[in-house]
Structures are given as structure tokens and as C-alpha cells.
Amino acid sequence: MWLLHRNAAYLKHNLDVVVQIQGNCDRKCSEEYNMALGWRRANTAKAYLEKYRVAIL
């Protein structure tokens, strides 16, 4: 999470920067499992950024 924390600090001080949050996964399991895993990972990153008051559109 240290990288996400560093990114949050950068985004808070550079309000003109826009990023897209994506959740990546492995191809080991079913497509449904991987879609859900990617969704959970992206939402966890989003929640972390919101916790540090980074503007989310």
C-alpha cells in the first residue's frame, strides 16, 4: 500500500491530474471470479484514496 499512499499524496497536491483506477487479476480461475476480483481490487484502491480525501469523480 505504500505506493498507493504515495500516489494519494501526489494526487492531493496535483488537482489537474486525472487517473483511471483499474483492478488487475490472474487468469487462473473462472472469468466470473477474475471479474469480481478485479472489481474488488479497484474498489479497495478507490476507498483508500477517498480515505485520504483525494477527489473522486
Q: What are phi and psi of 14, to 5 degrees?
A: -130, 75
- Residue 20 lies in domain: 2-51
pLDDT at position 24 is 86
Residue 57 domain-assigned (yes or no): no
Residue 7 domain-assigned (yes or no): yes
Q: Are the C-beta atoms of residues 14 and 54 closer than 8 Å to each other?
A: no
Q: Are the C-beta atoms of residues 53 and 12 closer than 8 Å to each other?
A: yes
**Is residue 32 within a helix (H) or strand (E), and if so which, with residue range?**
helix 31-51
pLDDT at position 26 is 79
Residue 26 domain-assigned (yes or no): yes
User: How far is CA 30 from its chain centroid?
Assistant: 22
Residue 56 domain-assigned (yes or no): no
User: In total, how many domains does the chain have?
Assistant: 1
pLDDT in tens, the chain (57 residues): 789 999 999 999 999 999 999 888 877 889 999 999 999 999 999 999 999 999 887
Residue 17 domain-assigned (yes or no): yes
Classify residue 28 by its DSSP letter: S
